[in-house]
Chains A and B, each alone.
Chain A
Amino acid sequence: MRSEPKIAIQGVSRSFGAVAALARVDIAIAPGEFVCIVGPSGCGKTTLLRILAGLETPSTGQVAITREDSARPLNTMIFQESSIFPWMTVRQNVGYGLRLRGIRAAEIAERIAPLLELTGLARFADAFPYQLSGGMKQRVSVARAFANDPELLLMDEPFAALDEQNKALLQEELLRLWSATRKTVVFITHSIDEALVLGDRVLVMSARPGRIKADIDVPFPRPRSVVELKQDPDYVRLNHDIWLLLRDEVRPAA
């Protein structure tokens, strides 16, 4: 399966002035794979994601992404903080990527309707973001990214600011949406739980300058239940293993 990578990150590093954010990173990601990257804060994981998104350039090395369909956008990013436009309604926000591509209004409405339904946003379709809770706002972000239908989803701690209950709900919704589309996903998080619940594979990053410290396969079958999975003894063991790996990295930084 991993013979033909979707994303090949080769020797990528990045520094900002004198500060090295990323030290040589090599990763190969297969098509349709859900990869989670965990690491201590400030380890350069967001920088890596921004490089994949084309919002930042590497200082050395290169990233090769295989594009299958030139009619679809290559990647769409979901940001950590609220990134939906306050001046657009939920509907306009979700359809934004499609509108930029010049798709007709009627077709946009048709394409986003099931997404609004799936994310529970249908009732709020004409509301403005200030009228929504934090969880609803992130649902809009997720729906906007899926509506754009990219080959690659890049997620930067999208649920970090949510309370535990909302987080679990959104994780399940994300898994449902993902299993229907099987997009390649790179998901950044600082939560080991989140990485294990969502990912096929967990990459553990070191403290700054970030490099890949461990590459762990997540063996749990899908579909997964976010709440049930956490009772699994294998889950608990894996969680502990990753915690031990991370603990060494957090200590010098603290």
Chain B
Amino acid sequence: MSDKPPQIVLIRPAPAEAALHLSPALLAVASPILLLLGWEAVVRLEWLDSRFFPAPSDVLVALWQMLLAGVLLEHSFWTVQRVLIGFVLGAVPGALLGLVMGLSPWIRAFLKPAIAAVYPIPKVALLPLIMMIFGLGEPSKWVIVGIAVFFQLLLSTLAGVLNIDRIYLDVARNLNATRLQAYASVALPGALPTIFAGCQLGLGMALIVVVIAENFGTSAGLGYLVWRSWQVFEVTDMYVGLMMIALLGYLFQLAMGWLERRLLRWKPAATAMKGTP
């Protein structure tokens, strides 16, 4: 025994948390705004060469003018259209094949090596081949986007189905579910959270691919805007294109997050939050 007097350990309410009343939504907006402000400052102070890094305010002015002229919406419209058509073309068969491979060990064993071999090829490297087959027009853009999205959805759906607790399939089997019923009531809903994750990745991939594809055989689309601005050294326009692409990506994520919250009401809120931007 020491001869120090006994100490009292106090456990009390945490200091008022109200002081830190920042909502996550507010914090989420703060980082892009701070980035833009910092950028603006650095250019105004001439620490950065404004020929390569025009100030955000200049980019916004250019963006506003292009918006008023209607050009920007037209470019955006073409890009969105290509992304959406390509996405549906790739996502639907990708998810379906993922479900089938997930539930059938035989089909999985048969197809997996082929997919593992093709998957690592950068999809953009297939573009010349696809333009040879489908021509320079719209179909080649849909197809290249479709291929990129297909693999993303296939792999995430497959992972999702394989991740479903076996017991749910046992229940379906024990209650004499047909194969189709097992797909509809167990495999699809059980894999839906990962399918959504795949959709998020797939949309990002679709934007990357479409921007590159729009360098060829078109005079519309945000990718075209960026490439043409590069050729004629209109750096500000190039940034307008980049900003619109970023904005589109963000809007796609928002839409996905909204859809996910509607369809995954069965997920506890904490895990559903992960998917939201």
Contact = CB atoms under 8 A, between A and B. Distances in A.
A122 interface: no
Given A86-B266, A87-B266, A128-B266, A96 B185 contact: yes
Interface of B: 167-168, 170-178, 181, 185-186, 189-190, 192, 265-268
B266 A53 contact: no
Contacts of B168: 83, 85
Interface of A: 53-55, 73, 75-77, 79, 81, 83, 85-89, 96-97, 100-101, 128-130, 148
Nearest to A131: B268
B175 A96 contact: yes
A87 B174 contact: no
B170 A83 contact: yes
Prevailing SS type, chain B contact patch: helix
B102 to A, nearest CB: 16
B174 A77 contact: yes
A100 B266 CA distance: 21
Given A87-B190, A88-B266, A130-B266, A100 B174 contact: no
Nearest to B172: A100
B34 to A, nearest CB: 37
B266 A73 contact: no
Contacts of A128: 265-266
A249 B223 CA distance: 73
B175 A97 contact: yes
A96 B267 CA distance: 19
Contacts of B167: 79, 81, 83
Nearest to B270: A130
B189 A100 contact: no
Given A55-B170, A83-B168, A87-B192, A76 B175 contact: yes
A73 B173 CA distance: 12
A77 B167 CA distance: 11
Given A130-B266, A130-B267, A130-B268, A85 B175 contact: no
Nearest to A102: B181
Contacts of A97: 175
A96 B172 CA distance: 9
Nearest to B271: A130
Nearest to A84: B171
A191 B238 CA distance: 73
Given A85-B168, A87-B190, A87-B192, A148 B175 contact: yes
A73 B170 contact: no
A100 B172 CA distance: 9
